[in-house]
Structure 1
Amino acid sequence: MAITDKIYVKNHRQLSSQLETSFPKGAFSGATLDILFQGEGLSNLDEATQERVLDFAEDFLDCDCQSNPYCGHPEEKFISYLLDLRAQGMGPEAIVDVMSDDYLVYAYPGDILSFLDDGIRTLEAAEQLADVDGQTEQADRIRGRRKDLSG
């Protein structure tokens, strides 16, 4: 299961009430994207919530693909956002706090930790493959990324 499947809308019940409709808790669920980020739904939200929803849309849903927001680019951008937060030295709990403050979405710190650990394991494997294949520059580049991710 991808980490973006484990990103949830904060204050889900409150937002459902303001919008007078139900939608899934998953922030990247198709129905959630439709209700929160398209149409008139946004105008029913309070001003502070509108700002954060708009920030989320600008940062992750801004794509020229015809199938936007279902093209996969929003998820890729969000994963890059998580990796950037980790590269800044944040741990899983701090990452959750920042994403909650920035975009009104949350995840469980354990899910973030698992995502980061999986990333480190993948980079370790890629690094070893590059070493075996004699691609020293590539292995060094991957090693640097792995060290950034592991903190």
Structure 2
Amino acid sequence: MAITDKIYIKNHQQLVSQIETSFPKSAFSGATLDILFQGEGLAKLDDATQDRVLDFAEDFLDCDCQANPHCGCAEEKFVRYLLELREQGLGPDAIVDVMGDDYMLYAYPGDVLSFLDNSVRTLEAVETLADVEGHHDAAKQAQRLRGNLVR
């Protein structure tokens, strides 16, 4: 299961009552993206919530794909966001706090830790395979990226 399947809307019930429409808690669910980011749903939110939702849309949903927001670009950008927070030295608890402050989202710190651990293991595998195949520049890049995540 992808980390983006484990990212949830903070104050979900409050948003449901503001919009007067039920939608999933999962931030990257198709129904959630449709309801929150298209027209009437967004207009019904209070100003503070609307600002956070618009920040999320601007940072993650801005792509030129015809299938936007269901193209996968948002999930890819969000994964990059999580990795960048880790590269800044934040641990799982702090990452959860930042995403809550930035976008009114939450995740369980254990899920974030598991995602980060899997990312490190994947980079280790890339590094090993690149070395075996003689792609030493790719191996060095994977090693550098892994080092940014484990410090």
| TM-score normalized with structure 2 length | 0.98
Partner Cα separation in structure 1 for residue 72 and residue 45 of structure 2:
26
* More moved, 7-16 vs 35-44: 35-44
| Residue 111 of structure 2 corresponds to residue 111 of structure 1 | yes
Give me the whole-angstrom Cα distance separating, in 1, the residues matched to 2:137 and 2:34. Answer: 44
Distance 2:76 2:138 in 1: 22
Q: CA deviation at 1:135?
A: 2.1
Q: Which runs of 5+ in 1 are unaligned?
A: none
For 1:78 and 1:137, the matched residues in 2 are separated by 26
What's the counterpart of residue 56 of structure 1? 56
Matched residues in 2 for 1:86 and 1:47: separation?
Answer: 30
In structure 2, the partner of 1:78 is: 78
Percent sequence identity is 72
TM-score (norm 1): 0.98
Cα distance in 2 for partners of 1:25, 1:115 equals 20
Which portions of structure 1, spanning 4 or more consecutive aligned residues, are displaced by more than 4 angstroms? none
Q: CA RMSD in A?
A: 0.7
Report deviation, 1:134. Answer: 2.1
One-letter amino acid of the structure 2 residue matched with residue 103 of structure 1: Y
- The code of the aligned residue for 2:19 comes to L
2:22 maps to which residue? Answer: 22
Q: For structure 2, list consecutive stretches of 5 or more residues without a partner in the other structure.
A: none
